[in-house]
Every structure is written in C-alpha cells, then in structure tokens.
Structure 1
Amino acid sequence: MLLQTGAATTRALRRWLPAGVLIVILTFLVIVPVGMLLYASVLDAPPRPGADPSNLTLAHFRSLYGSPETRLAIRNSLAIGVGGTAMAMSIGMLLAWLGARTDVPGRGLVQLSGIVPLFMSSLVGALAWSLIGSPRAGYANTVLEALGLGSAVNIYSVGGMVFVFGLYYAPYAYLFVASALALMNPELEEAAEVHGGSISRVMSKITFPLVLPATMGAFILTFVLIIENFPVTQILGSAGGVQTLPAYIFRLMAAAPSRPNQASAAGLLLMLIMVVLVSIQARLLARRSFVTVSGKGFRPRRIALGRWRWAGFGFAVVYLVLAVGIPFFALGQAALRRTQFISGVGDFFDPTAFTLRSMTTLLDYPPFALGLRNSIVVGIMTAVLGGALHLATAYTVHRTDVPGRRILDYVAMLPVTVPALVIGLGFLWTWLNLPIPLYGTLLILVLAYTARFMPQGYRGISSTILQVHADLEESAQVAGASRLRAATTIVIPLIKSGIFSTMMLLFILSMRELSASIFLFTSQTRVLPIVLYDQWTSGSYSRMAAISLIYSFLLFVLTMLGRKWLGMGTTTD
C-alpha cells in the first residue's frame, strides 16, 4: 500500500514539475516585482534592506491621490492618450484601407509608409521633434519667421505630444487593421454600393464596423502604450511644464530627497488604469460576433477612388515625410553643423556650416562605445533567455495537459498591464532586497526586459506552435518516442522560423527600451537609449543627434536582416 502511495505521489510530482518550475520562474519575473511595488507603496520608509516590514501605512496613497499635481498628471495623461490614439488610429486606419482595399497608385509605397516609422523609436522621434518644434529656436519656427508668420509651433505642449504620439503609434493601428481588411469578404461592400451607398458611407457603415475587433485591439493597445510612454512625455513635457503620470513617477524618484514610496503608489495607479483598459477591451470584444471569413471563396476587390486616387497617395507621402523625412533632416542638421545657432533659412544649406567631426569622433566617445556594447550584449541575452523561456511556456500550455498550465498562460500575459517604468521600479525594489547581487549588472536589465516583453514573446511562439497539428507528435509517441524527443525532433524543427522571428523581435525591442532600464542602470551598465537620453539632459545636441542617426540606422539594419525570419512562419496543417 505504501509503495502504491509513493508511486502515485511520484507520478503527481512529475506531472506538476514542468509547470511548477515555470510558475516559479515567471513568479520571480512578474509577480514578485509587482508585489514589491505594492509593498513599497504601503511601507512608511524606502524599501531598502533592513526596513521594518511591520510599519505599514496608507498615507502615501492619501497624500498622492489628494495632490493637485497627481490629478493634473492624470488629466494630462488621459488627454494626451485620447488625442494621440485618435490621431494614430485615423492615420493608421486610412493607410490600411488605402493599401488593402483601394486602387491607390504606388500601393507598395503606401503600405511601406504604414510600417517604416516603426524603425524609429519614440525616443529618437521625440528628440528630433524637439529640434524641429522648439518655440525658441526650432527649425520649423525659423522657416515660419522667414515667411513672416512668426513662431507658431510649440512642440512642448499637450498638442505637440499628441502630434508626436499620433505619428509614431499609427503603425500599430495600420498593422492591426490592414490584416483584417485583407481577409474581409467584399460582398457586403458590393451589396451596399449596388444599393447606392457612397464610398464614405460604405466605409463608415460596412467596412470599419466589420473589422471592429482589430480596431478595438489597436485602439486599446495604442492608448495603453501612449499613457505608459516615458521618453516622449519626459523630453517634450518637461520642457513645457506638462506633467504626466510616467514623468511624475520619474520626478518623484529623481527628486532630492527622493520619494520612492509615493513613486510606487503612483506606479500602482498607472498600472490600475492599464488593467481597467485591457479588461474593457476583453469585455467589449466578447459580446459580439464579427465573422467575415467563411468556407466560401472570394476574390479580393479594389475600390476605385477615381479623382481621389492621387490624394490618397499624397496623404501617405505627407505622413512619411512628417514621421521620417523631416525628423532625419533635423537630426542630420544638428549632427553635422559646426554650431547649433541658425540665423536664417539660408543657414540650413550653407556648405561651410557643416562638418563630420561629431560623427567621426563618436566611435572614440567612451560612453557611446560602452552603451553600444551593453545594448548588444543585453539584446542577445534577452533574445536567448526569453526565446527559451517563452518556448517552454508556450509548449507547456498548448501541448500538454499538466496541472497549472492555465496559470502559466495568465501570468505570461500579465505584463501587458504593467507599464515599463513600473516594471523597472519593481525590479529595483526586488533585487535591492534579495541577497543576490544582481543590481548593477547587465543581468538585471536582461531579466527586466524578459519580463517587459513576455507577452510579445509568448504570443509569438504560441502562434507558431498552434500551427503545427498535434497529430505529428502523437504519432511519434505512439511509435515509442518520448515527449521530449518528439518535441525536439518534430515540433521545434517545424517552428524554428517562428522561434528565430520571436528572438529577433525580442532583440530589436531590447535595443529600443529606455523606460524599463531608467531605474536599473549604473555607470558601467548604461545601454544605448540611456546614453542618448543623457546627451539630451546634458544639452549635447550635436552628439545626441549623431547617436540618434547611428542608433536608428542600426535598428533599420537589424530589422532588415531579420526580415527573413520576421516574415517567415510555418503554415503546417
């Protein structure tokens, strides 16, 4: 009897072991940092080692939520989020419709314009537009003054931030909506046109309502990404005195003396807003059916725009110029000029005003070399560690029946509701209090990035695993192969393109990340976005622009090199 009980216990432990190990890992990456943030928000002193854990208080929440500063930061964040999302959705949806459903000329360029701004991080975009739209010495105001129109542009405002967010988050709306429009059966649109519906009426009553799931997904994602964004609001908002929640959290930590407990409470408030938004999205989409693809075949149809064809093409070109062309022109001016002073429009094209000194001396600048090296190391480690972790998690959830796999699925998606700045703050308190000396090393950045991009990595690999039918593994196991051997010899080779795609995505995202690392770096662990941010804070605009150009070029090259994996996937039945 005892032998039978022991054998049953052993079998139960073996069943729980895979999910149990992964749950422990994900708990340390996600749950513990969020828990430490909550702990810090109710502690009466900074949550450093040796702090008395029994001295708990809600005073930080009362002082924070009763503060006019907090209310103003919330209002500004919501206003910028709504405005930026509305602009991004308008641009992205229109580009998606033009590229997927119309006979617009230069359709390839239109489709390219929907994704090219992704190669330019919001940090670089904000820095470029600070050069263009500064109310005192911005390039745009220099041109306007030459035309006798005065200084009409002020990028350091709520409207300025809405404009920048709208430009650089439009690709998210484009990617969501374009794929949905490409799959939509055109018969409903054709029926509406037969009954006299105009193009605008068909779009508003038929086309976009049928892709509402993609539209809602893009809207919530864009809104969440905007209200949690730190670089744009810090660079443009701080100069204009516009306070937002992410910038407010950073200011509480950077103040002298710092206020870490209030910063933790503010971080929880920002996280609560994101949780509510994601929950609303799930509830809205769960109530309706939007099936537009059935077993009946159809031929994709292009809507004839008539006299509006070239207007649609012009819209795409204008967007591309605003999002990429003008910012790179501004960065080139700042990087190559001998002096940043510009007396008139003619100075923009004076060949004697330019020099390559900033570009040629950059490679000998120690912080840049250190930041570039650290970024590459952290990116590779995040891609490898994250790829392995997400593969193990996705396989356990979708290919096994072990207990606890649904918990894994929930925890893996939890970081989508946690702002990057909050993740960094949670990791700071966690690893300052644990007896493992990770703070001050590159490994803490790797772990923070792995947690930050867990939803993207997990979903990326999950989608490829679900494309491989389980019958292939089951046949191997019937033939005597173990589950591990079936996975390594059948599943992984079939989804290797999806795995490499996810790893490349994690590498690129890690190269772009500033918010999660702003509280975790030291003088020897600075990554390239931190170096770039430091140049802005110190007023080294020439070097800032030079680093921005090289940084953007590096991201572009990495993305192009990864296209053979990013664009590949398995379609195995």
Structure 2
Amino acid sequence: MRVTPFQVAGMLLALALGALAVYPLALVVVRPFFTGGRIDLTPIRETLAQPELTTLLWHTAVVVGGSGLAAMVIGSALAWVNERTDARMGLLTDVVPLVPFLLPPIAGAIGWSLLGSERSGYLNQLLRALGGPGPVDVHSWYGLIFVYTIYQVPYVFMIVSAGLRNTDAALEEQSRVSGAGPWRTLCRVSLPAVRPSLGAAALLVVWTGFGLFSIPAILAPQAGLDILSVRVVQLLSFTYPPETGVAVSLNLVVMLVVTLVWYAQTRLLRSSRTAGLGGKGARARPLRLGRWRAPVRAAVVAYLALTSVLPLGALVLVSLTGFWSGAVNWSRLNLDAVVRTLTDTATQEALINSLVLGVLCATIGVLAAAVVSVLVRRSGRRSGMLVDAAIKFPPTLSHLVVAVGFVLAFSGAPFHLGGTLWILMLAYVSLHMPQATTASDAAAGQVAPELTDASRISGAGQARTFRRITPPLMAPGLLAGWALLFVTIAGDISASAILAGTGNEVVGFRILEVFANGDYGMLGAISILLTLATSLVVLPVTWYARRRGASPLSRTHP
C-alpha cells in the first residue's frame, strides 16, 4: 500500500512526541539501575525493604480504586442526566460539575481542610452552632476518598458527555419505542455506544488517581494513611541524597497497573463495533423522567453545592479574613488579602505565564493527538501501538520523576533551557499528551469509517479528508480534551515545583511559595483568581463544544 505524505508527516510527529516522552525518562529511570556499566538491582532490593511496603500499596489501592469507581459512577450518571434526560438545567449542569476541576488540587484540598478539620473546620463549627456534634473529619479514609472522587468526577463527566453528544440518540429512542425499558436501553444501547469514552475515562481516572500528590499530602498524614505519591515525593525531595532508584522502583507498580488499563482500553477501541457518527440521524426527544425529574434535579443541585460551593466558599472566606481560625468575625472581613494578591508582581507574572502556557500546550497537544489517534486507529500496526504506548508512558511515573528527567535532558548543554518557559512547555506537553490522546482516541473511535471512506472515494486525499472531515466530527471530544489539558496545565504544581523558579514562575510554583509561608488569605485569593481566569476560558469552549456537538436531542431540551 502506498504511503502518503500525510502518513509520513503524522508518523514523524508521533515519533517526535514519543522521543520527547522517552528521552528524559530514560536518563532518570535507567541511570539508577546501572553502576559501572553493569545492571544494579540494589534499588529494587531497597524498595522491597521499604517500611510497611504492603500497607503503602494497600492504602494506595483502596483510595485510588474506591475513588475511581465512585468517580466513574457519579460522572457517568451526571453526563447521562445532562445529555439524555429532561432533567438538564442548561449552563448549571453543563459547567458546574467542572468547578472542582478548575481549582488547583492543593487549593481544593486546603478548601476541604478548612471545611472539614475535626476541631476548627468551618463546617464543623456550623454544625455545632446548630446543635449538632460536628462529626465531619476530612482527614480520614472516607474524607480522602471523597476529595479524590470529586476531583476525578469532572474527567469522567467531560469525556462521557462528549461521547454521548457524538452518539445518535435516535437509537435509544427506537429502543424505548420497541418496548425496552430505560434500564435495558441503557445496558443494550447507551453503554455500548460510549464504550470508547468509558474506557478513556477509566484510564484518565487511574492516571490522575495515582498521580495526585497535593490532596494526599495535605489530608492523608493526619488520617494515618500512607499514599504512594507522597512516599515518592519524600524520597525525591526530603531525603538526602535523593533515593531516585527507590522512587522509580515504587513507580513500577503504577506503571504495571496503568499499562494493564491502557491495554484493556486499546482492546476495547479495536473490538468496538459501534460507531456513533455515521449518517444523519433523526431528531430524538430526551427521556422524560416524569415524577422523578424534580428529585433528580434536586440531587444534582445538592451534589453540585456540596462539591463546588462549599470549598470555594471556604477559600473566599479565608481570603476575606486573611487567616484561618474556627471562629469567624464577620465584622472584620476585608479585601486586604485580595488587594495584596492583585498588586503582587510575582503573582501577576505567574498567572499570565500559566494561562499562556495552558493555551499553547493544550492547543499543540490536542492537534497533535488528533493526528496520532487517527493514524494509529486506521493503521492498526504494531509500530503505531508502540509509539502510542511511548506517548502514554510519562503519567505512569510521578511528575516529579519526569520533571527531574527534563532537568537532566534540557537544562544544560546543548539546549540550556533551564529556568525558561520553554522547558516548562516541553514538560507540560509530554506530561499531558497522554490525556490529549486518550480524549482523541475516544472521539476517533466514534467516527464511522464510512464518512472518511466516502471522502477518499470522492477524490480527496488523506490530508484534505483529515482537515475537512475528521476533526469536525471529533470536535466535542477534542474540545473536551483541550479544556482538560488547559485546566490541568494552568494549575500544575508537581512538575512546576522542580522546573519553575524566579525566572519562569507559574501559578503552581507561586501557590507552593505562599503555602510554605502560611499565608492562607493570599492562598485563597490566588485560588479564586485562578478559578475565575480558567472559567472565563473554559466556559466559552464548553459552550462552543456543546453547540458543535449539539445533537437533535440536545436541541429539544427545555
């Protein structure tokens, strides 16, 4: 079969992305296991000798597994209610589920700590004032799993919502007209149609669950829980000399789990026989919930208030008080911390840098991911699968490990990128490219081959077919992936802690500085400003994605 210029360009792009992912990691991952040119397994033996290794793995598995399962259920349910029923409430159910995602993880964790600390948490103080015992304790098993869950639900919601918008809702209506009940329609029609999206969401949840550091670092120690990501950071940043070999060895566990989930997702994509986007579908009506409509809406509003309003309210309150204490003197609320934040030069520069990097890296990542996903899916070759695996490799390791690799690879000669925004951009693209390709894989998996085949039969080449046919059909999934990348990059903390500095400061690094100084008022103000800034970008993107992917079903919503 003749190789086209588009295929050559696409494979060169994929190889470049694979090299960007593998080269820095090879420097930091391979080096600890070689001494004097010989293989040295000492790091693995030291890892097996780590104190309470079994407890560490068990605690991590319970938290990541429990929160991941809960996030899949809640996120998919919210997406289905919003896209397929008459319980949708417009902008409220379109965007508010994403609010926890717009907060940097460290800010969200601090917000919940402000609310749910056993003694001085705002929520406990309120419950005690109302005559209750104030039993909420976020520094616990259920508290940690809860915060993990609400942070991961937006990933599932965005990907599954895009998948539902890409599927033909008329098939579900035909199932109901044929006598199938809602449950049978869900199991036999709806879920098979969005299997690529569910697989992508599961992979993202596993990635983010193992990679989260800020949340367990703040909430887990007081609960007596030992989480893998926290232990890795301790080995890299709080041990001298850094035990890089042990940290990498611990990440091999994560690598194994993520590899298994990735393999299952690729099998799911290859075996899926359901294409969501084919010919033009008929207009379909949303599922009418009848007497259940009001309770479902009430449950959705209660969930949104619990997960969005409360932590944001705690951060607003601490920014207006300037400090954290259980008792709030309402007469002394002021804007001093907000004014200090708005006039702080370092914060202004950090916010601008983060937003610019977020836009650039998200755009580069999503466009490149679309090309890679289409080529890998259409070729079906083992070489394409290997390149795809290389691109998805970085999230299997701690972001701190990856950041150390980028320091070794690009800070010195011949690149000399240390202390610049370029090294941050390269690292962000490499770290978050897997999320982009996962979102685009799911979108590409729902595009029926009949449309691209028809374009090529009509005389259009692969490049023109890709430009005119594929991305427009993948638009809802690609825009969801863009929003996902933009928010995670703009609020990144883990990689920024290693790669950022006074010459290339970003919001994540600035938040760490403020948190280390114990300035809760400024921390709350920075978090609110970042949330507002990212919302101003994500809201139009979400609106446009819904408009581009609006099915006849979505246009019939009241």
Partner of 2:361: 382
The alpha-carbon deviation at position 60 of structure 1 amounts to 1.1
Write the mapping of 1:243-322 to structure 2, written as runs, cut at 5 A: 243-257=226-240, 258-283=242-267, 300-322=284-306
Corresponding residue to 1:436 among 408, 415, 436: 415
The reply on whether 1:538 has 2:517 as its aligned counterpart is yes
Corresponding residue to 1:142 among 120, 125, 150: 125
User: 2:217 touches 2:230 (CA, 8 Å); kept in 1?
Assistant: yes
Q: d(CA) in 2 for partners of 1:292 and 1:495?
A: 10
User: 1:497 touches 1:570 (CA, 8 Å); kept in 2?
Assistant: yes
User: 1:339 touches 1:353 (CA, 8 Å); kept in 2?
Assistant: no
Q: d(CA) in 1 for partners of 2:73 and 2:466?
A: 45
Q: d(CA) in 2 for partners of 1:454 and 1:526?
A: 22
2:76 aligned partner, one-letter code: M
Pair 202,110 (structure 1): closer, same or farther in 2 beyond 3 Å: farther
Q: d(CA) in 2 for partners of 1:407 and 1:510?
A: 26
**SS of match in other structure, 2:87:** coil
- Which is bigger in relative contact order (C-alpha 8 A, separation at least 6)? 2
Partner of 1:185: 172
Q: d(CA) in 2 for partners of 1:339 and 1:407?
A: 51
Q: d(CA) in 2 for partners of 1:25 and 1:280?
A: 25
User: 1:504 touches 1:566 (CA, 8 Å); kept in 2?
Assistant: no
The alpha-carbon deviation at position 175 of structure 1 amounts to 3.5
Gaps of 5+ in 1: 1-10, 45-52
The alpha-carbon deviation at position 355 of structure 1 amounts to 0.7
Pair 310,124 (structure 1): closer, same or farther in 2 beyond 3 Å: same
Write the mapping of 1:84-95 to structure 2, written as runs, cut at 5 A: 84-95=67-78
Listed one character per residue, the Cα deviations across residues 170-215 of structure 1 (whole Å, up to 9, x for unaligned) are 233333444438635234345555xxx6x6x547765665457244
Q: Compare 249-258 and 498-507 and name the one that shifted more.
A: 498-507
Q: d(CA) in 1 for partners of 2:84 and 2:367?
A: 39
Corresponding residue to 1:355 among 334, 340, 344: 334
Listed one character per residue, the Cα deviations across residues 270-329 of structure 1 (whole Å, up to 9, x for unaligned) are 222211222234446666766789879665354443433211111111111012111111
The alpha-carbon deviation at position 451 of structure 1 amounts to 0.8
The reply on whether 1:519 has 2:498 as its aligned counterpart is yes
Partner of 2:315: 331
Corresponding residue to 1:26 among 17, 22, 42: 17
The alpha-carbon deviation at position 332 of structure 1 amounts to 1.0
1:80 aligned partner, one-letter code: V
Pair 367,236 (structure 1): closer, same or farther in 2 beyond 3 Å: farther
Q: d(CA) in 2 for partners of 1:204 and 1:474?
A: 36
Give TM-score scaled by structure 1 length.
0.78
Q: d(CA) in 2 for partners of 1:289 and 1:176?
A: 19
Pair 202,496 (structure 1): closer, same or farther in 2 beyond 3 Å: closer
Pair 537,40 (structure 1): closer, same or farther in 2 beyond 3 Å: farther
The reply on whether 1:130 has 2:109 as its aligned counterpart is no
The alpha-carbon deviation at position 251 of structure 1 amounts to 0.9
Partner of 2:350: 371
Partner of 1:553: 532
Larger Rg: 1
User: 2:109 touches 2:214 (CA, 8 Å); kept in 1?
Assistant: yes
Q: Compare 415-424 and 397-406 and name the one that shifted more.
A: 397-406
Write the mapping of 1:162-241 to structure 2, written as runs, cut at 5 A: 162-178=145-161, 179-180=163-164, 183=169, 184-191=171-178, 202=184, 206=188, 210=192, 213=195, 214-241=197-224
Pair 307,493 (structure 1): closer, same or farther in 2 beyond 3 Å: closer
Q: d(CA) in 2 for partners of 1:372 and 1:27?
A: 30
The alpha-carbon deviation at position 225 of structure 1 amounts to 1.9
1:305 aligned partner, one-letter code: L
The alpha-carbon deviation at position 108 of structure 1 amounts to 5.8
Pair 415,535 (structure 1): closer, same or farther in 2 beyond 3 Å: same
Pair 125,182 (structure 1): closer, same or farther in 2 beyond 3 Å: farther
Q: d(CA) in 2 for partners of 1:254 and 1:98?
A: 44
**SS of match in other structure, 2:498:** coil
The alpha-carbon deviation at position 390 of structure 1 amounts to 5.1
Partner of 2:325: 341
User: 2:370 touches 2:471 (CA, 8 Å); kept in 1?
Assistant: no
Partner of 2:30: 39
Partner of 2:556: none
1:252 aligned partner, one-letter code: L
Partner of 2:428: 449
Pair 119,543 (structure 1): closer, same or farther in 2 beyond 3 Å: same
User: 2:117 touches 2:137 (CA, 8 Å); kept in 1?
Assistant: yes
Q: d(CA) in 2 for partners of 1:399 and 1:88?
A: 31
Pair 221,202 (structure 1): closer, same or farther in 2 beyond 3 Å: same
User: 1:379 touches 1:508 (CA, 8 Å); kept in 2?
Assistant: yes
Q: d(CA) in 2 for partners of 1:106 and 1:376?
A: 29
2:26 aligned partner, one-letter code: G
The alpha-carbon deviation at position 146 of structure 1 amounts to 2.0
Pair 263,361 (structure 1): closer, same or farther in 2 beyond 3 Å: same
Pair 66,114 (structure 1): closer, same or farther in 2 beyond 3 Å: same
Pair 515,400 (structure 1): closer, same or farther in 2 beyond 3 Å: same
2:117 aligned partner, one-letter code: S
Q: d(CA) in 2 for partners of 1:494 and 1:164?
A: 35
Pair 519,71 (structure 1): closer, same or farther in 2 beyond 3 Å: farther
Q: d(CA) in 1 for partners of 2:78 and 2:478?
A: 29
User: 2:236 touches 2:243 (CA, 8 Å); kept in 1?
Assistant: yes
1:37 aligned partner, one-letter code: V
Gaps of 5+ in 2: 551-558
User: 2:497 touches 2:508 (CA, 8 Å); kept in 1?
Assistant: no
Residue-pair matches, total: 538
The alpha-carbon deviation at position 160 of structure 1 amounts to 0.9
Pair 525,106 (structure 1): closer, same or farther in 2 beyond 3 Å: closer
User: 1:64 touches 1:262 (CA, 8 Å); kept in 2?
Assistant: yes
Q: d(CA) in 2 for partners of 1:160 and 1:140?
A: 13
2:317 aligned partner, one-letter code: Q
Listed one character per residue, the Cα deviations across residues 54-89 of structure 1 (whole Å, up to 9, x for unaligned) are 254111112213424433222122111122123222
Q: d(CA) in 2 for partners of 1:555 and 1:336?
A: 21
The reply on whether 1:58 has 2:41 as its aligned counterpart is yes
Q: d(CA) in 2 for partners of 1:477 and 1:337?
A: 63
Identity, % of aligned positions: 24
User: 1:473 touches 1:491 (CA, 8 Å); kept in 2?
Assistant: no
User: 2:501 touches 2:509 (CA, 8 Å); kept in 1?
Assistant: no
Q: d(CA) in 1 for partners of 2:492 and 2:286?
A: 39
User: 2:100 touches 2:151 (CA, 8 Å); kept in 1?
Assistant: yes
